[in-house]
A and B are shown apart, each in its own frame.
Chain A
Amino acid sequence: MNGIRRAAIYTVLALCATSVSMAFAEKSQYAGTNLNFVVVSDQFSAALEALAPVFQEQTGINLRVTVLGYGELYQRAIADFIGHTAQADLYSTDIVWSCQFAESGYLTDLASLIKRDEAELDLDDIPTVMWTTGSCGEQQIAFPLVGYAGVLAYNKAAFDAAGIAVPKTVKELAAAAKALTKDGKAGIVMNGQRGTPAAQDWMFYMLMNGGSILGPDGKPALNSPANVETLELYADLFKYAPAGAVSYAWGERVTSFSEGSSMMMVDWSAGLDYLRPGAVPVSGSAAITTTPVKEGLDPVYPFGGWGVGINADSTSQGAAWEFIKWLSSPEVQKQYVELGGKPIRHSTLTDPVLVAKYPYLSTILEVVEHGDGDFRPRITQYSQIEDAVGLAVNLVITGQESAQKALDAAQATVAPLFQ
């Protein structure tokens, strides 16, 4: 079945490629140039690998896509930038790396190129929040590559059976988690593993509950009352999570939901395999909606994703920019979605054919329109903040510390980084 599906996609792709080729009738002036694009291992990386030969066919530019794990990509990129070895021309960059890379001058500032080609790029079609995947102040060191929405995934069948409405507020979320915890099933599942898994998941709830990592002065405010309250809520929700959730990372969390062991989770729209018919046991019962918001707060939703930046040391700047323009073109964006990528354009998110096929795009659009790309601060100190928060969250959910004490300690750890 997968083979037939894949064959159909590639056939459509080939037809699209032919039609797009009409637009790129002549080979690029950079034909023959070799580009190495290092991307993180994610759903969209497979889409990029599939699109690489199409790009090569149309432009004559040779594109090699190298896929690496998250940590490996970060370390390799830094080593490449520091050593000025230009091992790769293009890098996928996590939204939270934006300012670190901008301040260090590792990537080419694309602002002037974007301005030069604004008509061609149709900038009005790219939602504002998408630019946070690579912006820092006036600089734009990466072009939006993939936009991820933080969404609430829920087991519709379980909600229907229990006669519960899908939660719109944080209180309703907690109540639903409690009500759905029965018959050996967990009402909700979260990441609890120390470090990035716990920190990132907790930050979803922090945003939902009106908290923030940085205060109005741009300094860390980890132990603010809202954050302490969120951590208490988060720890409380673990009562309704699977027993082992305190050591879960993304894989285990998604598995627990996909297998039907847990009824809700807050998740990135990166994979959404559980929405694909027949993919997992919960397929057909699973649905997504926007994340709940604390009573009385305006809806703000978690937004994340990846940009694509050009290595400042690359000798193929022109060809690299041509690839970025090609990938972000409306025609290619549609193919990109079909292959598993997540779109960056409003027109793609609202494309009637795609929306009919992938109804979840309308939820992503809603998140994008009210998205906050800065709920995980895009600053140089982010990795240390994330680590401190990850430790604090884990200490609280394993009953070793109180929320106040743990966040006080985290605040004491990160505060010196801002002096």
Chain B
Amino acid sequence: MISSSTTDLACSGGSAPKRKRRFRLGRRSSLAFWVSPALILIGVFAIYPVAYSVFISFFKYKLTDPTKSQTFVGFGNYLAAFADPSFIVAVRNSLVFVVGAVGFELLLGLALAVLLNRELPGMGIVRSLLIAPLTLTPLVVALVWGALYNADFGPVSYYLKQLGFQLGAGPIGEPSLALASLVVIDVWQWTPLMALLLFTGLRSQPLELHDAAQIDGASPWQRFLFVSLPLLKPTILVALVIRTMDALKLFDSVFAITGGGPGRSTEVVNYYIFKVGLKYFDIGYAAAMSNLLLIIIVIMSALYLRALRTSGRAS
């Protein structure tokens, strides 16, 4: 019997640890098989381009150079970026834009989310309509806003003048107003996204906590400040990460409306990189600046994620 059972075991694949190992190996290879398409896609479309971008950023490499030469310059392109006043101005403009646009979107989005969370008549339609700006192509949005802003034909300029605002050369023609005008476009298009994200965050909060606070005598404002807002923090941070990354990549409205002007007032990093890379075809330098932009985005995202983890631990 014993020998028979041993034989059975041998036939069924060996000892228990061996079986376990084989099962684990089988499971691993099965998982690897199913994950491999995603890994290949990420490798081809994300990792390889980034790696290649890092590689060519160490070369003086101009696509239109008749000699087609690539000269190794080490960190030369990165040092050149730090010494390039246009790049510095572009970074500053990008950061100002991010703070302005994302800040307003957060405040307005939060207010909208609170309103959406109320069961008022017609709220279902409002929620659906909020998606409309998100479905529009940013370039189309920029072109439409460009026409609206036109100092001579545009309704925005017209009504602002009627209200007594002295706009001079118009919202996009005045150096002091141009970047703020682009912020308005971004806020118009992306506040609904922020509102919908925060709305889902509000909806997922347990009602018991609100009820308990109400029983304890908390006013609606206190319930919002001390119950809703702390619970909403993870959602806010995720929304901020998404919008910050996106706002740092601002391109369409600058490309379509201002061309970086008046002067340098709306020249942002992405637009400057586009010019250097796809107009001058100075690929090495453009790659270096792209990598610096990537580093900025990673740092900002890391800060948000750290705050997210901290809030997670606290809660």
Which chain B residues in 140-199 approach chain A with CB under 8 Å? Answer: 150-154, 157, 167-170, 172-175
Which chain B residues in 242-294 approach chain A with CB under 8 Å? Answer: 257-264, 275, 278-281
Contact A255 B261 (CB under 8 A): no
Main secondary structure of the interface of A (DSSP, over half): helix
Min C-beta distance of B68 to chain A, whole Å: 8
B-side contacts of A198, CB under 8 Å: 261
A-side contacts of B66, CB under 8 Å: 103-105
Assess A394 versus B263: contact at CB under 8 Å? Given A104-B64, A194-B258: yes
B-side contacts of A252, CB under 8 Å: 150, 153
Contact B258 A255 (CB under 8 A): no
Min C-beta distance of B247 to chain A, whole Å: 21
Min C-beta distance of A28 to chain B, whole Å: 34
B-side contacts of A341, CB under 8 Å: none
- From A145-153, A242-250, A294-302, A321-329, give the one contacting chain B: A242-250
Contact B150 A246 (CB under 8 A): no
Report which residue of B152, B172, B280, B281 has the largest number of chain A beta carbons within 10 angstroms of its beta carbon: B152
Assess A244 versus B261: contact at CB under 8 Å? Given A75-B278, A256-B152, A398-B173: no
Tell me the bound Cα distance from A256 to B157 in angstroms: 16
Tell me the bound Cα distance from A82 to B262 in angstroms: 34
Is the CB of A200 closer than 8 A to any CB of chain B? no
Min C-beta distance of B175 to chain A, whole Å: 6
Min C-beta distance of A276 to chain B, whole Å: 21
Is the CB of A377 closer than 8 A to any CB of chain B? no
B-side contacts of A157, CB under 8 Å: none
Which chain B residues in 215-259 approach chain A with CB under 8 Å? Answer: 257-259
Is the CB of B95 closer than 8 A to any CB of chain A? no
Contact A261 B169 (CB under 8 A): no
B-side contacts of A192, CB under 8 Å: 173
Contact A194 B260 (CB under 8 A): yes
- From A85-93, A277-285, A358-366, A382-390, give the one contacting chain B: A382-390
Is the CB of B63 closer than 8 A to any CB of chain A? yes
Contact A383 B279 (CB under 8 A): yes
Contact A398 B64 (CB under 8 A): no
Partner of B151, one of A71, A194, A243, A394: A243
Tell me the bound Cα distance from A197 to B170 in angstroms: 18
B-side contacts of A197, CB under 8 Å: 259
B-side contacts of A246, CB under 8 Å: 169, 173, 262
B-side contacts of A188, CB under 8 Å: none
B-side contacts of A255, CB under 8 Å: 153
Contact A247 B168 (CB under 8 A): no
Q: How many A-B residue pairs have CB under 8 A?
A: 95
Which chain B residues in 92-107 approach chain A with CB under 8 Å? Answer: none
A-side contacts of B275, CB under 8 Å: 387
Closest residue of A by beta carbon distance from B283: A82
Contact B169 A398 (CB under 8 A): yes
B-side contacts of A242, CB under 8 Å: 151-152
Is the CB of A78 closer than 8 A to any CB of chain B? yes
Is the CB of A395 closer than 8 A to any CB of chain B? yes
Partner of A247, one of B63, B151, B264: B151
Closest residue of B by beta carbon distance from A100: B64
A-side contacts of B175, CB under 8 Å: 398, 400
Closest residue of A by beta carbon distance from B261: A194
B-side contacts of A390, CB under 8 Å: 259
Assess A247 versus B152: contact at CB under 8 Å? Given A100-B64, A103-B66: no
Is the CB of A211 closer than 8 A to any CB of chain B? no
Report which residue of A196, A198, A391 has the largest number of chain B beta carbons within 10 angstroms of its beta carbon: A391
Contact A82 B63 (CB under 8 A): yes
A-side contacts of B151, CB under 8 Å: 242-244, 247
Is the CB of A144 closer than 8 A to any CB of chain B? no
Report which residue of A380, A387, A398 has the largest number of chain B beta carbons within 10 angstroms of its beta carbon: A398
Tell me the bound Cα distance from A41 to B280 in angstroms: 21
Is the CB of A209 closer than 8 A to any CB of chain B? no
Min C-beta distance of A94 to chain B, whole Å: 13
Contact A243 B64 (CB under 8 A): no
Is the CB of A291 closer than 8 A to any CB of chain B? no
B-contact bits for A370-402, CB 8 A (1 contact / 0 none): 000000000010011001001100110010110
B-side contacts of A78, CB under 8 Å: 63-64, 281
Tell me the bound Cα distance from A195 to B154 in angstroms: 22
Assess A247 versus B280: contact at CB under 8 Å? Given A78-B64, A400-B175: no
- Could you show 20 A-B contacts with beta carbons less than 8 Å apart? A71-B279, A78-B63, A193-B258, A193-B261, A194-B258, A194-B263, A195-B260, A198-B261, A242-B152, A244-B150, A244-B169, A244-B170, A245-B169, A247-B257, A247-B261, A256-B152, A387-B279, A394-B261, A394-B262, A398-B175
Q: Which residues of A contact B (CB under 8 A)?
A: 71, 74-75, 78, 82, 100, 103-105, 192-198, 242-247, 249, 252, 255-256, 261, 380, 383-384, 387, 390-391, 394-395, 398, 400-401
6 smallest A-B Cβ distances: which pairs? Answer: A244-B151, A194-B261, A195-B259, A398-B262, A247-B173, A244-B170
